[in-house]
Structure 1
Amino acid sequence: MPELSLCMIVKDEEKHLTRSLSSVKDVVNEIVIVDTGSSDKTIEIAKSFSAKIFHFDWVNDFSAARNFALSKCPGDWILYLDADEELKPDSIEEVKKYKSHTPAGVYCTVKSLGSSTANGSVMRYPRLFANVPGLEFVGKVHEQISDSLRKNKIPLVESEIEIIHHGYAIDEDGLQKKKERNLSLLLSNENKKSNVYDKLKLIQTLISLDKYDEAEVRAKNVINSKFITAADLCLAMFYMAQIKYENNDLNAANSFALRSYKKLSDKPELNYLLYLINNRINNIGEAFKFITLCISSNKQLLEKKSKIESENILDQTDLYLRAINLSLKLDKTNRC
């Protein structure tokens, strides 16, 4: 019978670790934990679950630690979680069935509670995958393995597996510190040969910290760079549209948003941004169109039918209220 390894990196996670390991102890064959310098009871808790524990000197790079952990996992399949995450109980049986599946990367739905919107965010990541040679994580922060799976011709398949992330269910001060930590890590890599993924994450982080001028410089560089994929170019243009909107340059914001629409039409945040722009310039018809599209794309996320890998869930009730308000404005305009 194929075996499944849990792959996890930790540091000072005594608050979350018991919950996380309890959620997977009945589905994994072994627990592999790489500690990057805990000073609390993290190691003690890990030992209570008979985990295999390794130590790794922190080098300000989440992928480096994650790849070291991956090298210590002998299982035929890998499930990777963070210590502040847990596998939903009703996903255990579905995880088990993939242990006998042909090699694949299995998309799991990761629901982050209390992140940048009231509803949290939803991410689709291949958190479960066949342990084949040549796989590696990339990204100083928000590390991912999707591209490596594709490069190694490992098919990506959908699943109903759900993971709950508690790491952003903290106060504003805690969130600010996480953003600043991520910014520091991304900036430390900027003058080296950083990949497009890290560059886009840097822009996103700067925007989240209201550092729009700094974000704009980086977004321009990505947009003007050579050898960039169409998807990455459209994402950079979406970020530029956000920056221009925040700087009250609505014409430029609209232009960049529409240019990014080619690849991101099912992105709720892009539809919402185009609604905001058109509402600001009193283009009620277009604003209504985009708020309607936003409702539809947001519903796809809520129902786990969206193909987007990472996206915030917007407040569906608020979206409907905005649509109703615009509908009344349109009706009033048409009667005049």
Structure 2
Amino acid sequence: MIVKDEENSIARCLESVHDLVDEIIIVDTGSVDQTKHIARHYTEQIYDFKWVDDFSSARNYSFKLATKQYIMWLDADDVISKPNRKLLKQLKDHLDPVVNSVTMRYLVNIDKSGNPSFIIKRNRLVKSSCQFKWKGAVHEYLEVSGPILHSDISIHHFKNKTDNSTRNLQIYEKQINKGTVFSPRDLFYYANELRRHNELHKAIKYYTLFLNHKVAWKEDKIASCGRLADCYHLLDDQEKEREIIYKSFEYDSPRADFCCRLGNLFLGKNQVNEAIYWYKYASRLTWDKNCMGFYHVPSWTWLPHTKLSICYYKKGDFKKAYKHNKLALEYLPYDSGLINNQKLIKNKLKNLT
């Protein structure tokens, strides 16, 4: 782990994993709170690393300190739940040593019911002898090769604090000032930082530069189309928003989140039949479990059915509205809004008979 000022979360993280691993290595990049003091309850292997505006440097340093056959990495606001602890234990006991890397699902934006908004696959466990390296000063990634096992283990990400800092943006801009030539991935993540800080026109410029790179990763290109669509949406340019959504289809078959976005655009114009087409399309898609891209959970589960229920309600087809609201409830059985909608539509059906 690399950490800084994580006194509010590090104990929760380490408590969820400490008895499943053979060593815990903490690399601190400048904490001024109780982070290191808390970590010492779980390990004596705590090291200081002078921050050099480069996350990969810190992570690669932490990997060099590891002495076991495999290395697993976590952030301080990650947690392994009881069911996933069991899966991790099984993996540890039965992992085929031919495997170089194990992916685990990263669950992001957890709601009060424990449902994530996004699921991302990440290489979480790697063979030490492969000496895989982290790449990228910001939004770093672990470059792996060889046999990869896609596990069913999930890591829950619980963000304790809102990060409004410009730290990442400043790192990128320092690199620009030094004349650093950005990789395609750097262009993508720099554009993300610009968008996050509402520099929308500049973000559009860098997303476009990224999309023009032939060697960029397909999944980042698809994600870039989604972020570009966000920018155009915020600028109220629906024509460009729709255009970039369709462009995402050039890189792979349509994804449910983009289909739902098209449905939203048509529904916003009260073009209900066109909206129904795209929500139906989304509802029939199935996610490729080996895909390493961003999985927007609502779009692949309950959201298309909720929207279809609204569309059919607008058309006065209460039978279909009831059907799709019921399908949405199968994913979110305790959602008060869906429960109330079901009662409302049921009353409409009674009145018709």
CA distances 1:184-225 after superposition (whole Å, capped 9, x unpaired): 333333451222222212222333333221111112222234
The answer for the alignment partner of 1:140 in structure 2 is 137
The answer for the alignment partner of 1:111 in structure 2 is 107
Relative to 1, partners in 2 of residues 1:106 and 1:217: Cα closer, same or farther, differing over 3 Å?
A: same
The answer for the alignment partner of 2:329 in structure 1 is none
Once the two structures are superposed, the pairs formed by residues 181-260 of structure 1 within 5 Å of their partners are 181-190=167-176, 191-260=179-248
Q: CA separation in 1, counterparts of 2:171 and 2:255?
A: 27
Q: Alignment partner of 2:24: what SS? A: strand
Relative to 1, partners in 2 of residues 1:259 and 1:81: Cα closer, same or farther, differing over 3 Å?
A: same
Amino acid at match of 1:155: P
CA distances 1:121-176 after superposition (whole Å, capped 9, x unpaired): 3221121222233411123333221xx21xxx322222121211112x44xxx34x
Q: CA separation in 2, counterparts of 1:136 and 1:268?
A: 33
The answer for the alignment partner of 1:270 in structure 2 is 258
> In angstroms, what is the RMSD of aligned CA positions?
2.8
The 8 Å contact of residues 99 and 149 in structure 2, kept in 1 or not, is answered as: no
Relative to 1, partners in 2 of residues 1:181 and 1:268: Cα closer, same or farther, differing over 3 Å?
A: farther
Shift of 1:93: 3.4
Q: What runs of 5+ residues in structure 2 fail to find an aligned partner?
A: 318-353
Q: Alignment partner of 1:198: what SS? A: helix
Q: Alignment partner of 1:54: what SS? A: strand
Relative to 1, partners in 2 of residues 1:293 and 1:306: Cα closer, same or farther, differing over 3 Å?
A: farther
Q: CA separation in 1, counterparts of 2:102 and 2:130?
A: 17
Q: Alignment partner of 2:151: what SS? A: coil
Q: What runs of 5+ residues in structure 1 fail to find an aligned partner?
A: 1-7
Q: CA separation in 1, counterparts of 2:139 and 2:313?
A: 42
Relative to 1, partners in 2 of residues 1:184 and 1:319: Cα closer, same or farther, differing over 3 Å?
A: farther
Q: Alignment partner of 1:132: what SS? A: helix
Q: CA separation in 2, counterparts of 1:324 and 1:110?
A: 30
Q: Alignment partner of 2:106: what SS? A: strand
- Greater RCO structure (CA 8 Å; 6+ sep): 1
Q: How many residues align?
A: 308
| TM-score, length-scaled by structure 1 | 0.80
Q: Alignment partner of 2:129: what SS? A: coil
Q: Alignment partner of 1:237: what SS? A: helix
Relative to 1, partners in 2 of residues 1:16 and 1:240: Cα closer, same or farther, differing over 3 Å?
A: closer
The answer for the alignment partner of 2:272 in structure 1 is 284
Shift of 1:80: 0.5
Once the two structures are superposed, the pairs formed by residues 118-197 of structure 1 within 5 Å of their partners are 119-145=116-142, 148-149=143-144, 153-167=145-159, 169-170=160-161, 174-175=162-163, 177-178=164-165, 180-190=166-176, 191-197=179-185
Relative to 1, partners in 2 of residues 1:77 and 1:248: Cα closer, same or farther, differing over 3 Å?
A: same
Q: Percent identity?
A: 24
